[in-house]
Amino acid sequence: MARIYIDNVQYEVPEGQNILSACLSLGFDIPYFCWHPALRSVGSCRMCAVKQFRDENDARGHIVMSCMTPADDGTRISIDDNDVREFRAGVIEWLMINHPHDCPVCDEGGECHLQDMTVMSGHVYRRYRFKKRTYLNQNLGPFINHEMNRCIQCYRCVRFYRDYAGGRDFNVFGINNRIYFGRCNDGTLENEFSGNLVEVCPTGVFTDKTLRKHYARKWDMQTAPSICPHCGLGCNIIVGERYGSLRRILNKYNHDVNGYFLCDRGRFGYEFVDGPSRIRQPLSRHDGDRSDGSLKAVEKKEALDLFKGISMDSARTLGIGSPRATLEANFSLRQLVGAENFCCGMSEHEERLVSSIIDILRNGPTYSPSLRDVEMCDAVLILGEDVTNVAPRMALSLRQSVREKPMEIADSLRIPRWADASVRQAVQDEKGPLFIVSPMGSGLDDIAARTLHIAPDDIARLGFQVAHEIDPDSPPVLDLPDELGRFAAHISAALKSSRRPLIVSGTSCGTLSVIQAAANIAWSLSRTERIAALSYTLPECNTLGLRLIGGLSMTDCFQKVLSGEVDSLIILENDLYRRAEALLVKGVLAKCKHVIVIDHILNRTGKESDLILPAGTFAETTGTLVSSEGRCQRQFSVMPPAGQTQESRIWISDVMAALGKDSAVNYSTIENIASEIAREFPVFKDLTEVSPPVNFRVFGQKIPRQAHRYSGRTAMPANVTVHEPKPPDDPESPLSFSMEGYSGIPPASVTPRFWAPSWNSCQAVNKFQKEIAGVSTGGDSGKRLIEPLTTENGVYFSELPEAFNFDNTKWVVIQSFHIFGSEELSSLGDSVSQRIPNPYIGLNGDDAASLGKDNGCMAQLIIGNVSLKLPVRIIPTLCSGLIALPVGIPGLEGVNLPAMGKIMED
Amino acid sequence: MNEPEQSIILLYLILVGVLLTAAGLIWLERRLLGLWQDRYGPNRAGRFGSLQVAADMIKIFTKEDWIPPFADKPVFVIAPAIIVITTLLSFAVIPFAPEIEIVNLNIGLLFFLAMSSLSVYSVALAGWASNNKYSLLGGLRAAAQMLGYEVFMGLSLAGVIMLAGSFNLREIVEAQRNVWFFIPQFPGFVIFVIAGLAETRRIPFDLPEAENELIAGFHTEYSGMKFGMFFVGEYMGVTLISALIATLFFGGWMGPLLPPLCWMIIKTFIFICGFILVRASLPRLRYDQLLSFGWKLMLPLALLNVVVTGAIILAAS
Amino acid sequence: MLSLVKGIWTVFKHSIRKRETVLYPEEKPSLHPRWRGRIILSRDPDGEERCVACYLCAAACPADCIALQATQDEHGRRYPEFFRINFSRCIFCGFCEEACPTYAIQLTNDFEMGEYHRHNFVYEKEHLLINGSGKHPEYNFYRVSGVSVGAKDSGEGENEEPPVDIHSLMP
């Protein structure tokens, strides 16, 4: 600990910080612009000036930039000194000279760091009377709005976009006082993390274009803490609502998971909630004909009666769960239909991969790292995974991990790590070892030490060899080509010389052996006295949780239907047409006497069902999700489900009650379900402690979802009724749908927004951390379910696949993921759908040439019973002999990959 | 005047007269307050707002008679009745004219004091039964205030009693044939007026219902006719105290030319106007001032008055 | 004690003073121009809506009786999609007028707003918007702000330089 003196009062702060973050941690307010806790210090804005004194006898002192000055033992500063106050007021006045008179029409207004800092520094009157500089703006695509006039040249945007997120299509242009931040030409920002510019920019240059369509101020939004439903990483988000519609997603700081940043899919993928395919009313089919358009809206009561009638009429009912539904909803369904009739809603293939991942994580000695841990790893091997498109936020963490090893250079020069400009100067282009072995190029290739594009089976073989190089006890690969052998030796050498190696793999290759190879490597590393991290990406937000509950596979389920053993299905938030071939699903649905769907989106499965119960989306659901890390986190509804919609879990408990089941009461509240789950599955023993209990109160008060300056309370419903209705109750969480309640800092998992007096922007998160960029004041959020068995060594897998052998006719069709498009829900949104690529058949240039195809030529691909006629896209990095087919994008749902395919001759 | 029929007719006449006066006072007070505050007061219903009372009656009778679910119901209902009953009973002993009097009680003055002491139950019980912190505080204040002011109210009258040599109000009036007692008993008169103000809980002594601290004090939870009874009770109290002042200090019905009843009514009316004038002019006391004023100033003064009066009478005899 | 009596006497002397009351329905009061009565939304000198839907009036409103939703036209000019004031809750404090950065929301001299049904007090934008600029007749927010909105492109507002040429290398 270092002792520092601030305005002659002594404080203790941890060593190795700069004065700015030390002071902010202590709760002092020092204005700043260019400094960002994740981007660190460059000292360019001159805003965070403080006066430093040599010792207690020094009365004059000298002005220093607090972000550039270490808070060493004995440092003596003044924040309140008149000279620095004037200095800071002068600086903000310069910065504000060209700032336009925009606040009323600026989307940042009310949550603007520049506004906060201007007020904080006491610049209240504009003396500048001359003409203001203006710029032309660019169209930066469907996500980001550009308004350059507002720029104060703090450089945070480029530092984030280029240095932190690795984007190439955005830069700073011009000289003198004509500095311009933008793209070379108009066009969509390509980086997957461009949305963070909204939060990084201290003023309104970059604002959320999706929010602009239905703008509401920060103080007017009802907000709740939630978990992103768009991939398996479980990033924490703050969801904002106004007038019953979802307005925007903001990052919710979670030290262990997403930190300060989100990916664009998570931030902008929310529009499906109020999209055209949303179901708002129970729908029922009155005639027997299962064709479009014969679904009619019914009332809730009638829907429950119909449900009852159907269950009386059916001999055996299967329930199909969903990896995008909450743990509670899935478990309730399992209890409704019985454990033996519950299907986990994944294809058999996927289910097998996920099971093996769970076995590896539960029974092996390696731990699955949080995203924070990923950032700290100093050597990374990615096996067969396109992290940028499958679990995008992890790619951002991996980008930081390659900076971990070169930090040694900075350390040896005694440059503090927070001095970002100096560190980058010292490190130059030096990068830590990151190896990518995958079937085709991925978003991280630019920072990889080496990449190799080979077929999935070869990836596994290489992986086994790497493990063997590290630990000779693991099974060797005998007939490995020399080139791969050398590569394996290179990788293993790098991993062995690292302190915290990380292996990333996942289900994208669709090959069990790749998953096993990754485990072998991690296990072999952990035998060498290292903390080896092993991370598997998973495609959906609750895949892991659902698999821990278990159930029949989809294949079994279909088998039972087709054999007539089962005559009705209850499908929970799951589009079967995305899980299996259309023909098969159609047959299964047709064979069923009754199909009941509980979902919020009217998809193909829904259109062919007999009864649809309208469920709540993540914004209307309180429930628990398990991330691919094994972290159990609770999401809270931000608004009560409107009209006839209800959370899936509530529908199921209503149905149980309607059927007169005695156990219905056990599934009526979230806490009851949680304790039932914990009782049935020991792995979920901490489930009830994931968030504070329902009856949690601070000073007897709930935590309000609405800000204390929430406006329009007496006018919002006035066009319907002037008798202001009572705000809806929320019996299922410690949060209330009201502006009344505890306004201090609640536990982290139920923090609905970041706001502190005089900190209206998202930078208020500083006040919610024990120390800057450290853990939250409100404690941990989420519980890790799976911890490694450190006593075990792990039994090496030894089933080696055959080497890939291409015979020019049988192509292996692999999955190609797209951040926009591969995920079901986000693709339904208006903005994200503009970024979805058209379906294509991806081919290596040589392969395409041998087939006589060029970019854009149509080709016909046959996979089993499926025939696809699509344009060819040449992917130079794709391994020869493979065909890449985009996953899940409209038109290509339900193709189970990897599979063997055939290209038809014209 | 001893025939029972006559006495019953008289009883009803006085009853109706007192109630009508109390109702009329509602209008009169608002008009007079308006006058002294350079306003009009009620002037819309009827000529000079004369039908205001009727309008108020209709309103108050048709309002929802609400008893809060948390209240102590029987007590809550009885409380407003007590104040009306005790005040009305006090009128029984007042000689309006030589022939107009319901009972000629030889302890008339004591009866009045007893009744006025009982009326505090109304307020205290209303505050208690409302089961609400403001009401309870109002009720407690009323009780403490009554306790303090009741004592020297009785003492202030001791001089009158000594001079008249009787508790009988008629005899007291008769004893003023030569000189009205407000001259020999001026301190007693002043003290009685002050005590009377406190007795009726009127400004500046309306702490039990101090709006700015206690919402409406003991009658916060009351509405409709139950509230109306407190209201009417207050005005009857004003009438009663005014009538008593006239009787005890200003020669009651005695006066030249006009018939005795007229004199009584005129004198009473003047004191009623005086009460209203006080309300129009003075601010409310602070609670501790109220109590220390009563115990530390008024009580010694009243005692001194008794001693001096006694001494003079002794010396004179 | 004497002061009390003097006070009572002073009040008593008011018996013969002239009454201050204005007998309202027969006799109309004269209102100050800054009287805070019924709220309106004004238009700028070009005849466009002045309101830019910044939500500041709603935030300033102590009765929370203003609700609106922002939207924008094809040129990016922001205006309220709906604008609702619940006058049965309004306390006519004028905070909304003070908060308004564009002089759009203004309080007028009209206070005679009696209604028999509360829902008649709910005014939507079509009831609030007038065809004039009310107070501050010259002010046009979009001329002084930095955003480009159809009629005015970047750099064409008051006190604005033309847009910078970022390709210029001139110092």
Residues of C in contact with A715 (CB under 8 A): 64-67, 84-86, 89, 122
pLDDT tens figures, A452-493: 999 999 999 999 999 999 999 999 998 889 999 999 999 999
Residues of B in contact with C19 (CB under 8 A): 34, 38-40
The answer to whether the Cβ–Cβ distance between B40 and C17 falls below 8 Å is no
Arithmetic mean of pLDDT, B70-90: 88
The pair of structure tokens assigned to A208 is 């959320």
Q: Which of A137, A176, A715 sits opposite C65 (nearest CB)?
A: A715
Q: How far is the C-alpha of A216 from the C-alpha of A549, rounded, in Å?
A: 40
> Which of B33, B202, B281 to mutate against chain C (most C CBs within 10 Å)?
B281
The pair of structure tokens assigned to B229 is 């009874």
Q: C18: nearest CA in chain B? A: B38
For A139, list phi and psi in degrees, rounded to 5: -90, 110
pLDDT tens figures, A662-711: 777 778 888 889 999 999 999 999 888 888 999 999 999 999 999 999 99
For A399, list phi and psi in degrees, rounded to 5: -60, -35
Whether B61 maps to a domain, the answer reads no
The answer to whether the Cβ–Cβ distance between C146 and A147 falls below 8 Å is yes
CATH 3.40.228.10 is held by the domain A352-541 = yes
Q: How far is the C-alpha of A471 from the C-alpha of A496, rounded, in Å?
A: 10
Q: Which of C84, C141, C162 sits opposite A718 (nearest CB)?
A: C84
Arithmetic mean of pLDDT, A112-117: 94
**Are A2-96 and A811-904 in the same CATH fold?**
no
Q: Which of 3.40.50.740, 3.40.50.300, 3.40.1160.10, 3.40.50.2000 is the CATH number of A283-344+551-691?
A: 3.40.50.740
**Fold observed for domain A811-904:** Barwin-like endoglucanases (2.40.40)
> CA torsion angle for A409, A415, A420, A422 (degrees, to 10)?
-80
Beta bridge partners of A631: A784
**In chain B, pLDDT over 90 holds for what percent of residues?**
2
Whether B37 maps to a domain, the answer reads no
The pLDDT assigned to B183 comes to 79
pLDDT tens figures, A66-85: 999 999 999 999 999 999 99
Q: C77: nearest CA in chain A? A: A105
On whether the CB atoms of residues A367 and A794 are closer than 8 A, the answer is: no
Bigger pLDDT: C90 vs C169: C90
Residue C23 has pLDDT above 90, yes or no: no
The pLDDT assigned to A702 comes to 94
The pLDDT assigned to B44 comes to 84
pLDDT tens figures, A583-621: 899 999 988 889 999 999 999 899 889 999 999 999 999
Query: For chain B, what is the mean pLDDT?
Result: 85
On whether the CB atoms of residues A663 and A816 are closer than 8 A, the answer is: no
Whether B80 maps to a domain, the answer reads yes
Q: How far is the C-alpha of C108 from the C-alpha of A759, rounded, in Å?
A: 36
Bigger pLDDT: A375 vs B100: A375
The domain segmentation of chain A, as residue ranges, is 2-96, 125-274, 283-344+551-691, 352-541, 811-904
Q: Which of C71, C101, C154 sits opposite A134 (nearest CB)?
A: C154
End-to-end, the C-alpha distance of chain C in Å comes to 85
Q: C118: nearest CA in chain A? A: A722
pLDDT tens figures, B141-172: 888 888 888 888 888 888 888 888 888 888 88
The pair of structure tokens assigned to A456 is 């999935």
Comparing A207-216, A389-398, A869-878, B19-28, the range with the smallest average pLDDT is: B19-28
Residue A210 has pLDDT above 60, yes or no: yes
**CA–centroid distance for C5 within its chain:** 49
Q: How far is the C-alpha of A15 from the C-alpha of C47, rounded, in Å?
A: 62
Omega before residue B204 within 30° of 0, cis: yes
The H or E element containing residue A685 is none
Q: What is the ipTM of this complex?
A: 0.90
Q: Which of A149, A175, A722 sits opposite C146 (nearest CB)?
A: A149
DSSP secondary structure, A457-479, as one string: HHHHHHHHHHHHHH-TTSPP-TT
Whether B177 maps to a domain, the answer reads yes
On whether the CB atoms of residues C164 and A180 are closer than 8 A, the answer is: yes
Residues of B in contact with C7 (CB under 8 A): 281-282
Number of domains in chain B: 1
Q: Which of B39, B277, B280 sits opposite C20 (nearest CB)?
A: B39
The pLDDT assigned to C104 comes to 94
The pair of structure tokens assigned to A496 is 């062995």
Note whether C touches A: 3 CB pairs or more under 8 A. yes
Chain A closest CA to C33's CA: distance in Å?
27
Arithmetic mean of pLDDT, C102-122: 92
Report domain A2-96's class: alpha beta
B55, with CB counted inside 10 A (0-12, 13-18, 19+), is middle
Arithmetic mean of pLDDT, A755-761: 93
Instruction: Find all residues with CB under 8 Å of B179, minimum gap 6, and list them.
Output: none
Residues of C in contact with B35 (CB under 8 A): 14-15
**In chain A, pLDDT over 70 holds for what percent of residues?**
99
> CA torsion angle for C127, C131, C137, C141 (degrees, to 10)?
70
Residue A293 has pLDDT above 70, yes or no: no
Chain A contact for C165, CB < 8 A? yes
Q: How far is the C-alpha of A475 from the C-alpha of B146, rounded, in Å?
A: 101
The pLDDT assigned to A160 comes to 95
DSSP B296: I
Q: How far is the C-alpha of C125 from the C-alpha of C69, rounded, in Å?
A: 11
**CA dihedral over B133, B137, B139, B143, signed as positive or negative:** positive
pLDDT tens figures, A422-451: 999 999 889 999 999 999 999 999 999 999
Bigger pLDDT: B285 vs A733: A733
On whether the CB atoms of residues A712 and C66 are closer than 8 A, the answer is: yes
The pLDDT assigned to A906 comes to 66
Q: How far is the C-alpha of A485 from the C-alpha of A629, rounded, in Å?
A: 31
Residue A292 has pLDDT above 60, yes or no: no
pLDDT tens figures, A775-808: 998 887 889 998 888 777 788 998 888 888 887 7
Q: A99: nearest CA in chain C? A: C146
DSSP A105: G
Arithmetic mean of pLDDT, A620-629: 93
Residue A328 has pLDDT above 90, yes or no: yes
Residue A291 has pLDDT above 70, yes or no: no
Q: How far is the C-alpha of B45 from the C-alpha of B54, rounded, in Å?
A: 9
Residues of B in contact with C20 (CB under 8 A): 38-39
Residue B19: Cβ within 10 Å count: 16
The answer to whether the Cβ–Cβ distance between B277 and C8 falls below 8 Å is yes
Residue B1 has pLDDT above 50, yes or no: no
The answer to whether the Cβ–Cβ distance between A243 and C124 falls below 8 Å is no
Note whether C touches B: 3 CB pairs or more under 8 A. yes
Q: How far is the C-alpha of A93 from the C-alpha of A80, rounded, in Å?
A: 18
Arithmetic mean of pLDDT, A334-349: 90
Give me the count of residues in chain B.
317
Comparing A747-751, A902-906, B308-312, C95-99, the range with the smallest average pLDDT is: A902-906
Q: What is the CA radius of gyration of chain C?
A: 24
DSSP A616: P
Query: Percentages helix, strand, coil for chain B, rounded to the nearest 5?
Result: 70, 0, 30
Residue A290 pLDDT grade (very low, low, confident, very high; cuts 50, 70, 90): low
Chain B contact for C137, CB < 8 A? no
Residues of B in contact with C1 (CB under 8 A): none
Q: Quick one: angle between helices B224-249 and B4-36, nearest 10?
A: 100
On whether the CB atoms of residues B232 and B22 are closer than 8 A, the answer is: yes
Q: C12: nearest CA in chain B? A: B36
Q: CA dist C77 to A109, C74, C148, Å?
A: 16, 7, 8
Whether B257 maps to a domain, the answer reads yes
Return the half-sphere exposure (C-beta side, CA atoms, 13 A cut-off) of residue A499: 8
On whether the CB atoms of residues A319 and A333 are closer than 8 A, the answer is: yes
Q: Which of C66, C72, C145 sits opposite A100 (nearest CB)?
A: C145
The pLDDT assigned to A736 comes to 94
Chain A closest CA to C30's CA: distance in Å?
31
Residue B216 has pLDDT above 80, yes or no: no
Chain A closest CA to C11's CA: distance in Å?
44
B–C interface: beta-carbon pairs under 8 A: 33
Chain B contact for C166, CB < 8 A? no
Whether B72 maps to a domain, the answer reads yes
On whether the CB atoms of residues A40 and A56 are closer than 8 A, the answer is: no
In A169-217, which ranges are E strands? 171-173, 180-182, 206-208
Chain C closest CA to B136's CA: distance in Å?
31
Residues of C in contact with B277 (CB under 8 A): 8, 11-12
The answer to whether the Cβ–Cβ distance between C147 and A131 falls below 8 Å is no
Query: For chain A, what is the mean pLDDT?
Result: 91
User: Which structural domain, as residue segments, surrounds residue B87?
Assistant: 66-316
**Touching subunits for chain A (3+ Cβ pairs under 8 A):** C
The answer to whether the Cβ–Cβ distance between A136 and C144 falls below 8 Å is no
* Structural domains present in chain C: 62-136 (3.30.70.3270)
Whether B45 maps to a domain, the answer reads no
Residues of C in contact with B280 (CB under 8 A): 11
The pair of structure tokens assigned to A734 is 């410690």
pLDDT tens figures, A231-267: 999 999 999 999 999 999 999 999 999 999 999 999 9
Arithmetic mean of pLDDT, B183-190: 84
Give the residue from A450, A425, A575, A493 showing the smallest Cα distance to A890.
A575
Arithmetic mean of pLDDT, B179-190: 83
pLDDT tens figures, A821-868: 999 999 999 999 999 999 999 999 998 998 888 888 899 999 888 889
Residues of B in contact with C4 (CB under 8 A): 282
pLDDT tens figures, A28-63: 999 999 999 999 999 999 999 999 999 889 989 999
Instruction: Find all residues with CB under 8 Å of B133, minimum gap 6, and list them.
Output: none
- Parallel/antiparallel/unpaired status of strands A568-572 and A317-320: parallel
Chain B contact for C3, CB < 8 A? no
Residue A812 has pLDDT above 50, yes or no: yes
The answer to whether the Cβ–Cβ distance between B38 and C10 falls below 8 Å is no
Residue A311 has pLDDT above 90, yes or no: no
Chain C closest CA to B118's CA: distance in Å?
30
The pLDDT assigned to A36 comes to 94
Q: Which of A178, A713, A714 sits opposite C168 (nearest CB)?
A: A178
